[in-house]
Chains A and B, each alone.
Chain A
Amino acid sequence: MKNRQITFQILRYNPQDVASKPRLQSYTLEKDSGMTLFIALNEIREQQDPTLQFDFVCRAGICGSCAMMVNGRPRLACRTLISDLPKTIVLTPLPFFELIGDLSVNTGKWMRGMSRHLEAWLHSREESPDLGRIEEKMEPEVAEAVYEMDRCIECGCCIAACGTAQMRQDFVGAVGLGKIARFRLDPRDIRADDDFYELIGDDNGVFGCMSLLACHDVCPKYLPLKTQIAFLRRKMAKIAIRQE
């Protein structure tokens, strides 16, 4: 396959250094079309600039660490083929999250805060369940539906793509609403819609979503975010109308 020269424009900025100013730095690379963005970034760091900061762990689209803005859109670097991109590639960090440096952001800090705020864990009937006991049976289709929402890798792409989140820092975004949808489906969770309303029944929650669909369009795991958020909205609206 014919090689080609790729130009990368990468945002460089170190928030720890008061003298540092955000700028785009150019790198060029000769690459085959089968290479991923993740491999290209590693080559740049190894051969051209060891100070370049970016994150990765699994290299297989499972950990969500390597999410970044690729030509303005959030994507996973490990799942993005260079052959799918134009010859000039602009890489910037995910907006919204705390910037560590260059392309590296602290999504974990925000995700933990969001999970605590939304109580995104199983609320069981028993206070201290016997972990050695065999779990209660679940209908296969219910288990499938729970698993479907559990595939979220918390990469932050949905938040970075969300217009509402760019304006309102307290918005829980599709990742937060997806977690509520997941626990709402789970028959082991004792919470009812009234309880979920207390968590997402406001403009920082489901009513803040403006249905811009960017989360749905960029999710690297292809989660059914549009359907799930609309479903939650209907359920929460019903609670609001019935109980006012």
Chain B
Amino acid sequence: MSASVFIVQSGLAEKTRKSRLPGILDVLQSVTGLFLALFMWGHMCFVASILLGKTAMWTVTRMFEGYFFFGKSYYGLVSLVVAFVALVFFVHALLAVRKFPGNYRQWRAVRAHAKAMRHGDSTLWIWQVYTGFLLFFLASAHLYQMMIWPQDIGPYASADRIWSDGLWPFYLVMLLAIELHACIGLYRLAIKWDLLPVSLAFLKRLKWGLTVFFLALGLATLGAYMKIGYEHRFQYGERYTPKTLPDWLLRFSPTDDFPNIILPQPTLTEESP
């Protein structure tokens, strides 16, 4: 066993060369947070493709399954991406929890402080703690579900999950938690490292603007899935297949295998009379 173990056990760690780990963990917390927030924004945009129509969402889903590159869907690709995101999420959660109030005394002190101070940024941090705590459970459950059942992503599959499986309250709470947490987190990241050549006032406006935009986009998207799910409730389990695809997309589509992929449509280039 190394000597450092016994030095630390003796309570003399402060008398030796300071560990570089706190600095590395601080950077890692920021990097993982940045990755997750940007991933979440991208994810939100892809999921919101349902607002452009079922075929648009189907196309996005198939693209990530590799359908337009390999000629068939490989659901494992989605699982791999989700597994990586889950890994980053767990690292971020582990690092971020160090900053949480660790006992009742700390919690009472920081809450009373934020209340009495009526200071916006201190209050926002309390919200980050609340939303971060919620995401421990909500994001973990969502990531697990997507990793194990990647084939259940699609216009009807997702809508059925949200409406008929009764998961819309879960998604509503997760949407609010994740949008607030990510927007506040990115804002704090910009302050923490001070690398953007913009004023603090601009950062604050940008933070609220992005929060409102992504919340509105998320709520509209959730509403769209709920509507589709409600209309599709009697065909629960059926998967969406587009009647036709735009010409530009057909050029990327594996036309030889098309009947295997788009089951109900023998041909895609001709419109039915």
Partners in one complex: yes
The contact of B194 among A163, A203, A230, by CB within 8 Å, is A230
Interface pair B26/A233, CB less than 8 Å apart: yes
| Closest residue of B by beta carbon distance from A239 | B23
Residue of B23, B25, B121 with highest tally of chain A CB at under 10 A: B23
A233 vs B191: C-alpha distance in the bound complex, in angstroms? 11
Question: Is A226 an interface residue, CB under 8 A from the partner?
Answer: yes
A167 vs B115: C-alpha distance in the bound complex, in angstroms? 15
Query: Which residues of the other chain, A, contact B193 by a CB distance below 8 angstroms?
Result: 230, 233-234
Interface pair A217/B119, CB less than 8 Å apart: yes
Among A79-87, A107-115, A184-192, A207-215, which stretch is in contact with chain B?
A: A207-215
Interface pair B23/A95, CB less than 8 Å apart: no
Among B106-114, B172-180, B222-230, which stretch is in contact with chain A?
A: B106-114
Q: Nearest Cβ distance between residue B225 and chain A, in whole angstroms? A: 36
Interface pair A214/B24, CB less than 8 Å apart: no
A239 vs B98: C-alpha distance in the bound complex, in angstroms? 22
Contacts A72-B117, A211-B188; is A237 near B23 (CB within 8 Å)? Answer: yes
Interface pair A244/B119, CB less than 8 Å apart: no
The contact of A214 among B17, B22, B23, B119, by CB within 8 Å, is B119
Query: Which residues of the other chain, B, contact A217 by a CB distance below 8 angstroms?
Result: 119, 121
How many residues in A have their beta carbons less than 8 Å from beta carbons of B? 35
Question: Is B18 an interface residue, CB under 8 A from the partner?
Answer: yes
From residue 82 to 138 of chain B, which have CB atoms closer than 8 A to chain A? 98-99, 101-102, 106, 109-110, 113-119, 121-122, 125
Interface pair A161/B119, CB less than 8 Å apart: yes
Question: Is B77 an interface residue, CB under 8 A from the partner?
Answer: no
Interface pair B18/A161, CB less than 8 Å apart: no
Residue of B98, B117, B191 with highest tally of chain A CB at under 10 A: B117
Query: Which residues of the other chain, A, contact B192 by a CB distance below 8 angstroms?
Result: 209, 211, 230, 233
Q: Nearest Cβ distance between residue A209 and chain B, in whole angstroms? A: 8
Question: Is B200 an interface residue, CB under 8 A from the partner?
Answer: yes
Interface pair A226/B200, CB less than 8 Å apart: yes
A100 vs B63: C-alpha distance in the bound complex, in angstroms? 68
Query: Which residues of the other chain, A, contact B195 by a CB distance below 8 angstroms?
Result: 234
Among A19-27, A43-51, A131-139, A194-202, which stretch is in contact with chain B?
A: A194-202
Question: Is A240 an interface residue, CB under 8 A from the partner?
Answer: yes
A244 vs B18: C-alpha distance in the bound complex, in angstroms? 11
Interface pair A201/B23, CB less than 8 Å apart: yes
Interface pair B194/A207, CB less than 8 Å apart: no
How many residues in B have their beta carbons less than 8 Å from beta carbons of A? 35
A212 vs B243: C-alpha distance in the bound complex, in angstroms? 53
A239 vs B17: C-alpha distance in the bound complex, in angstroms? 13
Contacts A212-B125, A226-B191, A233-B192; is A198 near B117 (CB within 8 Å)? Answer: no
Contacts A167-B101, A201-B18; is A95 near B24 (CB within 8 Å)? Answer: no
Question: Is B60 an interface residue, CB under 8 A from the partner?
Answer: no
Interface pair A163/B110, CB less than 8 Å apart: yes
Interface pair B20/A214, CB less than 8 Å apart: no
A203 vs B19: C-alpha distance in the bound complex, in angstroms? 11
Query: Which residues of the other chain, B, contact A168 by a CB distance below 8 angstroms?
Result: 106
Interface pair A210/B99, CB less than 8 Å apart: yes
From residue 1 to 43 of chain B, which have CB atoms closer than 8 A to chain A? 17-27
| Closest residue of A by beta carbon distance from B191 | A211
Question: Is A241 an interface residue, CB under 8 A from the partner?
Answer: yes
Q: Nearest Cβ distance between residue A185 and chain B, in whole angstroms? A: 16
Q: Nearest Cβ distance between residue A58 and chain B, in whole angstroms? A: 26
Interface pair B106/A214, CB less than 8 Å apart: no
Interface pair B118/A72, CB less than 8 Å apart: yes
The contact of A166 among B102, B113, B118, B121, by CB within 8 Å, is B113
Query: Which residues of the other chain, A, contact B113 by a CB distance below 8 angstroms?
Result: 95, 163, 166
Query: Which residues of the other chain, B, contact A161 by a CB distance below 8 angstroms?
Result: 117, 119
Q: Nearest Cβ distance between residue B224 and chain A, in whole angstroms? A: 36
| Closest residue of A by beta carbon distance from B189 | A211
| Closest residue of A by beta carbon distance from B116 | A72
Query: Which residues of the other chain, A, contact B109 by a CB distance below 8 angstroms?
Result: 95, 166-167
Q: Nearest Cβ distance between residue A210 and chain B, in whole angstroms? A: 6
7 new A-B contacts, CB < 8 A, other than A210-B125, A234-B193, are A69-B116, A72-B115, A73-B116, A203-B98, A212-B125, A240-B22, A241-B24
Q: Please list the residues of chain B having a beta carbon within 8 angstroms of any beta carbon in chain A.
A: 17-27, 98-99, 101-102, 106, 109-110, 113-119, 121-122, 125, 188, 191-195, 200
**6 closest Cβ pairs, A-B complex:** A240-B23, A230-B194, A72-B116, A167-B106, A240-B20, A211-B192
What are 8 A-to-B residue pairs whose CB atoms are below 8 Å? A167-B106, A201-B22, A207-B25, A211-B192, A214-B119, A240-B20, A240-B26, A241-B27
